[in-house]
Chain A
Amino acid sequence: MIARLPRITLLWAVNAVSMLGLVAAILVAAPSAFPAAANPAETFVQQNIDKGYLILNNASLSATQRSAQFREFMLSLTDTRRIGLFTLGQYVNSASKAEIEAFNSAFADYAVAVYESRLSKYKGQTLKVTGSDQRAADDVVVNADVVNPAAPPNTPAIKAAFRVRKTADGRPIITDMQVEGIWLAISQRSDFTGFLQQHGGSVSALTDHLKTQAQQVRAGGPAQNG
C-alpha cells in the first residue's frame, strides 16, 4: 500500500494540472467566442439526438414513413461509405470496384437498420450530452448519459459516446457510436473481417449476408449464426 502512494499522488497532481488548464482556458477565452467555440461537436450531437428521437417517437407516422425519415436523417448524419470501408479492414485492398460499390450500398442499409434497432431500445429514455474529449482538431468524442426516467433513483446512467469527425468540406459527421465502452464500427470491423477470413476474403459473400442480416434486424427475427 505504501508503495502505491507515489502513484496516487501523481494521479491527483495530473488531475489538478488539467483542472487548472481548463479553468485558465475559460478565464482567457473572450466572452463572445466562448459559447460558440466551446463545443460545437457537443451541440451538434445533442441537437441531432433530439431530432432523431423526434422521428423515432413520432406516433403520427406509419412505420414505413418513420423508417424512411429516420434513414434519410441518419445518412445525413454519418458517412456510411467511410465507415463501411473501415469495417472491411485489410480486405478493402483485394476487392474490385464493383464489389465495393455493392458493399457500400448494402452496408448503408444494414447500418441504418442496426442504428434504428439499437436506438429504439432506448426509446422513452433521455440521451443527454455530458461533455467531450478533443482528441484532435477534427476528432471529438462526445459523451452522453442515457437516463431511464422509469428506473429507481440512484440507478447509474448508461454511458454512451459519439465520435464526431469532419467531412472533406468541413461538415461534422458521426463516424461511430459507443455504449458502455463498446464502439459499434470497431465491433463491426471485427465481425466483418472475421466473416471475410472464414469466407476466403469474398466481399460479395459479405454483401449478400449483409442484405439478409438487415432484413432480419428489421424483422426482429431469429438469430443467424455466421
Chain B
Amino acid sequence: MSVLVDEVMKLSPPPSDQKASSKDFQSDQDVRWCPGCGDYSILAQTQRVMPDLGIPRHRMVFVSGIGCSSRFPYYMNTYGFHSIHGRATAIASGLKMARPELSMWVVTGDGDGLSIGGNHMIHLLRRNLDINVLLFNNQIYGLTKGQYSPTSEKGKVTKSSPFGSIDYPFNPAALALGSSATFVARTLDRDPKHMQAIIKRAAEHKGTSFVEVYQNCNVFNDGAFFQFTEKDTKDDTVVYLEHGKPLTFGKEKDKGIRLNGFSPEVVSLKDGKWSVNDLLVHNEKDTTLSFILADMTYKAGLPRPIGIFLAIDRPVYEQEMVRQIVFAQEKRGDGDMVKLLNSGDTWTVQ
C-alpha cells in the first residue's frame, strides 16, 4: 500500500459508524425505480444485511454499469461508482487490485453483466478476485424500454423481436460455473429472508461471489418469475439447495430429486417407491454436482434450483498479486529509483 493511502487508512471512523443500522446505509438520494420494481426489495435486503457484516460503510464500494440495476450505488451510503455499460466488473477489478482491503460489490443486470459485459464477467470469475457480484436478472432490457435480453426465453415477443426472439438464452449459473467461479448462487426478489442469507454468504466468501437474483420487471416483463415466487405455484416449481440436505420440494415436501445416471429426475416420496434416502444430497463443495444442478435450470419437468450451487476456496487474485510484490521486495529490497536509473551499461562523458 502506498504511503498516502496508508495515511488515509489510519484515520479513525466517526462514532456513528460503529454500530450501524440499515438506515445508515441509505443515501440521501430519492430512489427512482418504477413503483413495484423488484429492485426495491434487493436494495432493502442489501441494506438490511450490511450492518451484520461488521464492515464500516466507508470501506465499502458499490460499482455498477448501465441499466436499471446499475442505479443501485446512488442509493447506498457507501462509496460508489456508476460507470459505463458492461464494465463494472473490470472497474471493480482494478479498484480491488489497488485496494485489496475494501469490501467490493458489483451490481449489474442480465444485459449489463451477460451481454455487453459478458467478457469481463467470465474473466472476473476465473481470476477469482474477492468481489461480490449481484446480477439482477429480469430477462428483459428495462432502461431501453423492453427489448429481449440474453436471458430472455426463446420466442419472446418484444419491441425488437416482434416475431419472437430466435436467441437461445444464457443460463447464468451454468455460465458462471463454466467460467470457474468459486461461489455461485441464485435467489429471488420476493423471498427476502433467502436473499439476505445468500447476500451474507456471498459477502463472507473469499473470492468472486456470483449471485443471480430473479427480479421482476413489472413494466416490461411482469410475472416472468411468478411461477417461482407466488404462493400457489412456488412450492411445486422451486427446489431450495441446502448444503448437506436432500433435495425435496412440494408443499408437503413430498417430492424429491434423485440422480438417474447423471440426470436429475423428480420422484414422489408418497407412493412408497422412493424415500428421502434415495434423493440427491446437496454438497456445495462438489463442482461436478454444481454443473448438474445448474443444468436443471431450463429443463422441462424439473423444479428451478434456488440457493447456493457452489462455494469452494481457491486462491484470491489480488492476494496472489500482493504475494508476488512482497516476495520481490523481500528478495530485491524496496525499489530504489536512483539505482534503477543508473543500472545497466552506462558511461560517463567528462
Query: Do they bind each other?
Result: no
Which residues does A use to contact B, with CB under 8 Å? none
Binding site for A on B (CB under 8 A): none
